[in-house]
Amino acid sequence: MTSYHLPVMAETVVKLFSHCPNGCIVDATVGTGGHAEAILLSNDSIHVVGIDRDSSVLELCRVRLERFGNRIKLIQGRFSQIERLLGEIGVGSSQAAGILLDLGLNSLQVDTPGRGFSYMVDGPLDMRMDATQGIAASDLVNEATEDELVELFRANGEYQNARRVSRAIIASRPLHSTTQLVDVIDRAVSGSARKRKGHVAKRFFQAMRVYVNEEQAELATVLDASMRLLSDGGYLITISYHSGEDGMIKAFMRYAETGGCQCPPQLPCRCGAVSLGRMVFRGVRKPTRDEIDNNPRAKSAKLRAFERVISATGEREGREL
């Protein structure tokens, strides 16, 4: 029997989507289909479009969800292309009842040594979610300058050891495997950093994965597109696993809620900003202790939800943010 990725906070996701208008829910990170299955089981009138850039994960999803027949449609592609991908199957502006972004990696990707995502097992330095496109981590590790590596690691919150590790990487080139890279990082990091929680290589690997997969640009584009795709009352639900992602989502939702209005809150708005909707609740939802015990990968998850509200004043399709 196949063991699938365990969907994080699936009950919360299903409950939130139950407030949306009837129609099509787009799971833009469908993975092996855990959330999609829970959503399809929750209501017979829901259709799901699942998108994932990783064809091997999508194959398992196809097998898992085939019993739902034409209520599920799977598409391989990047979620930054979501408008084009949905347009090709006839889902246009203001036609999605909900959009789910469960970011990061699928357990299958992490647990397959040949993908090179894990600092716990030996594998090639790849880290691409779609192994047919873009540069691999080995290109980055073996070709970037010291300053480029330092900037990359610092941007991912690794300040203390960015320079030392970058120098060590350059001195040890060429590097071909995850084990070699972990070894270099391990020898380069200072004593105090070792006392931090988590593996010494964790943030370095994460920084490389985010770069290789252009995760920040992907996220910025899909957030923006979601406002044009959602119907009135439709929900955008996001689940993120590190502070960089969550910070982007939080800033986006705040901006979308106010429309960028800078007017003093005690006075009526005079700047003409148009709100695109409202946050469904303030702050984030997190998994329960029980869920984390059952699925330790859920530990850092933060869920946010935004309701698209299309104003009666004629604003129909959202504007560029």
Closest to ligand SAM by CB, 27 vs 310, is 27
Q: Which two tokens stand for residue 75?
A: 């598409």
Question: Cβ 299 to ligand SAM, closest distance in Å?
Answer: 13
Question: Cβ 199 to ligand SAM, closest distance in Å?
Answer: 19
Question: Cβ 232 to ligand SAM, closest distance in Å?
Answer: 26
Which residues lie near ligand SAM (CB under 6 A)?
Answer: 5, 7, 29, 31-35, 51-54, 57, 78-79, 102, 104-106, 129, 218
- Name the E strands within the chain: 24-27, 47-52, 72-76, 96-102, 230-240, 277-279, 302-308
Question: Cβ 112 to ligand SAM, closest distance in Å?
Answer: 12
Q: Distance (Å, rounded) from C-alpha 215 to C-alpha 230?
A: 22
Q: Which two tokens stand for residue 251?
A: 């800033």
Q: Which two tokens stand for residue 319?
A: 């504007």
Helix axes 162-172, 178-188, angle to 10 degrees: 130
Question: Cβ 29 to ligand SAM, closest distance in Å?
Answer: 3
Closest to ligand SAM by CB, 93 vs 216, is 216
| Residue carrying structure tokens 């050891």 | 161
280 CB-near residues (< 8 Å, 6+ apart): 16, 235, 305, 306, 307
Question: Cβ 119 to ligand SAM, closest distance in Å?
Answer: 18
119 CB-near residues (< 8 Å, 6+ apart): 178, 181, 182, 199, 201, 202, 205
Give yes or no for a contact between 110 and 35, defined as CB atoms under 8 angstroms apart: no
Dihedral of the alpha carbons of 264, 269, 271, 276, in degrees to the nearest 10: 110
Closest to ligand SAM by CB, 245 vs 307, is 245
Cβ count near 252 (within 10 Å): 21
Q: Distance (Å, rounded) from C-alpha 77 to C-alpha 286?
A: 28
Closest to ligand SAM by CB, 29 vs 166, is 29
Closest to ligand SAM by CB, 75 vs 185, is 75
Question: Cβ 49 to ligand SAM, closest distance in Å?
Answer: 12
Question: Cβ 41 to ligand SAM, closest distance in Å?
Answer: 13
Q: Distance (Å, rounded) from C-alpha 14 to C-alpha 2?
A: 23
What region does 185 belong to: left with phi over 0, alpha with psi -120 to 50, or beta? alpha
Closest to ligand SAM by CB, 34 vs 318, is 34
Closest to ligand SAM by CB, 171 vs 217, is 217
Closest to ligand SAM by CB, 66 vs 147, is 66
